[in-house]
Amino acid sequence: MIDSTSDIAGPEKATTPIGRRRFMAYCSAVGLGGAVPATLWAQAQQEGAVTKEMLATAEELVGLEFTDEERELMLQGLNRNLSSYQALREHDIPNSVAPAISFDPLLPGTLPPTEHKAFRYTRPVGVTRPLNLEALAFEPVTVLSELIRTKQVTSTELTQMYLARLERHDPTLFCVITLTEERALRQARQADAEIARGHYRGPLHGIPWGAKDLLSVPEYRTTWGAKPYEHQQTGETATVVERLDDAGAVLVAKLTLGALAQGDVWFGERTRNPWNPEEGSSGSSAGPASATAAGLVGFAIGSETLGSIISPATRCGVTGLRPTFGHVSRYGAMALSWTMDKLGPMCRSVEDCALVMHTIHGADGKDGTVRDVPFNWDPAVHPRELRVGYLKSAFEEERRENQEDQREADLRSLEVLREVGVDLIPFSLPDELPIGAMRIILSAEAAAAFNELTMSGRDDLLVRQGQGGWGNTFRTARMTPAVEYIQANRLRTIAMGEMAARFAGIDVFVAPSFVGQTLTLTNLTGHPAVVVPNGFRDNGTPLSISFIGKLYGDAEALAVAKAYQDATNFHGRKPERFV
């Protein structure tokens, strides 16, 4: 359904001197809402300028009230601003251009880790090739890489197997936007030739993987899951793709995302959950979660701004890492929120996430938010060596009737951690802050990132319309006063200080994935999170638990999650329909 105020199919309906779409932008510039009173519409055509009546209406939208004398004084400045807005809009600004402001999750005086330690990973013992190669479809990267390293399996064989599974199961899951078959087979043959010569690049060499289709790959379209960009091709290679290429990994598919990184509905269909294809996979990293859970790729790369790794990883029962903000370059990725976007791995085990993170992290000189901070993974680290907290109030909170199975799984997760020797420390978050209100940061930045889409009227092409759709959100965000956006970011600084004080006593804390404001808060402050399955509902669909680390403490969060995962085996279960 399209909002009744957005009744123009093209960029502008030129039936008046101004044009209705242009008039909406005009009113937006001075704080007027999308539902413009007819009298003001007529008046604007006559006046050609901001009037006191317009200003009085705008005051209601932003919760302010000025006197008539104050309005009179403001008019000259407002009309001058309007001319400035119109001048700015004459310049096309690509989505890839970041604003000349940046977010740093580290407060002044705080230094990131600097010690680089030797990278270690687990090499399984006694791994042998099965009679049926497809039995490897659900194996973690640690197993697949050992088979490739020992030359029991070739990259070409694995690549052909995963390509065949992608083609066979995509009509059920709708998780693929573009198969990259030609590129994949070329990379696989190169990997085999190098390994045959004794040149083994490391644990990702020859491993097939899938990219969320907001990562640019020059040979293929990058659609962002949205109809207006269905045929878009870009010239750059995303840094994450480039680094995985350098590690010898094999890109087999560009996977779905909900349109413009929202939900699981894209221009082709709705991506499905392998555990129950009647329901969506959640999003926005819909395809990476679905394909990894169904054994269609060795691993995948997703992105998160406000839950887009955590939520689909939970729904599909995979392991996801949302890295510290500024740990992984976003160059070549679609921008939604420059101060909140993160890229991270979605895998079948915690250690797989560590292997991928080791490859993709670090500064590249292209994304100015990224620090060259070490990622020191060692699978031998035991959580007894770390200070681990638990979000006490969230575990004690009563759940709705349909959430009791999640509550039981969460409480059992604490028992498991204690059984493996973790001394859990009660922990709390700064709940007194208006965390939810700070979400205007995301909506304002997203509206700026897709300014052209709104101004041209092509937001009508998005599949999802209505109250919660991006089109409406972008238009609504244009009513956000710049002052309130700044105020929200100032409160964000206070939240960062509160979190820094709380993390002074711990390295990692465990929390229910979706209770309270944890997900929103830690995305705003830039903290890393690891999500792993911790049980199943009565209907057979997965549940999850989250481990949140200190800033740049991604490896420590992964270490605690690995200890939990090793003591359970929820991540080892497979959706029967795809076995």
Kindly state the tokens that stand for 45: 């055509």
> Which two three-digit tokens encode residue 341?
């976007």
DSSP state of 515: S
Range of the domain at 83: 1-91
From the candidates 28, 145, 155, 212, which is the catalytic residue?
212
162 and 53 share one domain: no
Tell me, yes or no, whether 480 lies in a domain. no
Whole-number pLDDT of residue 348: 98
- Rg, C-alpha atoms of the chain: 25
Write the CB contacts of 188 (distance below 8 Å, at least 6 apart in sequence). 154, 155, 156, 158, 159, 160, 206, 208, 250
Q: What is the dihedral of CA 361, 364, 365, 370, to 10 degrees?
A: -10
Among 91, 119, 144, identify where a domain stops: 91
Any domain includes 372: no
What the block records as the tokens of 520 is 């929103």
Q: Is 260 left (phi over 0), alpha (psi -120 to 50) or beta?
A: left
Query: Same domain for 212 and 302?
Result: yes
Is 426 contained in some domain? yes
Which pLDDT belongs to residue 27? 52
Rounded CA gap, 289 and 264, in Å? 11
Q: Please tell me what DSSP assigns to residue 236.
A: P
Beta 508-512 vs 388-391: how paired, if at all? parallel
Q: Which DSSP category does 368 fall into?
A: T
Cα–Cα distance, 468 to 81 (Å, whole number): 30
| Beta bridge partner(s), residue 272 | 280
Q: Are residues 60 and 203 in the same domain?
A: no
In sequence order, what E strands does 69-219 have? 176-179, 208-212
The total domain count for the chain is: 2
- Asked if 257 and 170 count as a contact pair (C-beta separation under 8 A), the reply is no
CA–CA separation, 297 vs 251, rounded Å?
Answer: 9
Looking at residue 248, its pLDDT comes to: 98
Of 85, 5, 83, the residue nearest 37 (C-alpha): 5
Query: Domain of 243: which CATH number?
Result: 3.90.1300.10
Residue 399: predicted pLDDT: 81
Q: Please give the structure tokens belonging to residue 381.
A: 């680290």
Specify whether 51 is located in the same domain as 156: no
**Among candidate residues 350, 323, 342, the one with its CA nearest the CA of residue 553:** 323
Last residue of a domain, one of 29, 59, 91: 91
Asked about 311 being catalytic, the answer comes back as no
Q: Are 1 and 149 contained in the same domain?
A: no
Q: Is 212 one of the catalytic residues?
A: yes
List 284, 290, 544, 546, catalytic entry:
284
User: Quick one: 201 and 86 in the same domain?
Assistant: no
DSSP secondary structure letters along 528-579: -EEEEEEEE-TTS-EEEEEEEESTT-HHHHHHHHHHHHHH--GGG---GGG-
Side chain identity at 110, as an amino acid letter?
T
* 86 and 139 fall within a common domain: no
Considering the domain architecture, whether residues 42 and 163 belong to the same structural domain is answered as no
pLDDT of residue 82: 84
Tokens of 243: 């680094």
Q: Is the pTM of this model over 0.75?
A: yes
pLDDT in tens, the chain (579 residues): 233 322 222 333 233 333 444 444 445 544 444 333 334 444 444 456 889 999 998 888 889 899 999 999 999 998 988 888 888 889 899 999 999 999 999 999 999 999 999 999 999 999 999 999 999 999 999 999 999 999 999 999 999 999 999 999 999 999 999 999 999 999 999 999 999 999 999 999 999 999 999 999 999 999 999 999 999 999 899 999 999 999 999 999 999 999 999 999 999 999 999 999 999 999 999 999 999 999 999 999 999 999 999 999 999 999 999 999 999 999 999 999 999 999 999 999 999 999 999 999 999 999 999 999 999 999 999 999 999 999 999 999 888 777 889 999 999 999 999 999 999 999 999 989 999 999 999 999 999 999 999 999 999 999 999 989 999 999 999 989 999 999 999 999 999 999 999 999 999 999 999 999 999 999 999 999 999 999 999 999 999 999 999 999 999 999 999 999 999 999 999 999 999
Report which of 521, 540, 528 is spatially closest to residue 324, judged by C-alpha positions: 528
328 and 405 inside one domain: yes
Query: 216, 290, 308, 337: which is the annotated catalytic residue?
Result: 308
Has residue 126 been placed in a domain?
Answer: no
Evaluate whether residue 440 is within a structural domain: no
Instruction: For residue 239, report the phi and psi dihedrals to the nearest 5 degrees.
Output: -55, -40
CA triplet 579, 151, 254: central angle to 5 degrees?
A: 50
Residue of 388, 380, 362, 414 lying closest to 534 (CA atoms): 414
Side-by-side strand order, sheet with 529-536: 176-179, 250-255, 208-212, 299-304, 342-347, 319-322, 529-536, 542-549, 508-512, 388-391, 424-427
Residue 422, in any domain of the structure: yes
Claim to verify: residue 403 and residue 546 sit in the same structural domain: yes
Backbone phi, then psi, for 508, in 5-degree steps? -145, 145
Q: Report pLDDT for 35.
A: 38
Same domain, yes or no, for 150 and 87? Answer: no
CA separation for the pair 367, 78 (Å, rounded) = 35
Per the domain annotation, does 107 fall within a domain? no
What the block records as the tokens of 269 is 């269909």
57 & 153 share domain: no
Which residues make Cβ contacts (< 8 Å) with residue 273, sequence separation at least 6? 279, 280, 281, 282, 290, 293, 315, 316, 541
Residue tagged 């979706």 (tokens) = 514
Q: Which residue, 91, 124, 154, sits at the end of a domain?
A: 91
Structure tokens at 346: 């979605």
Please say whether the beta carbons of 248 and 202 come within 8 A: yes
Residue 445 located in a structural domain: no
How far is it, in rounded angstroms, from Cα 244 to Cα 240? 6
- CA atoms within a 13 Å half-sphere pointing along the CA-CB vector of 317: 23
- pLDDT confidence of residue 471: 95
Written as six digits, the tokens of 477 are 């965000």
Residue 282 is among the residues annotated as catalytic for this protein:
no
Local structure of residue 156 (DSSP, 8 states):
H
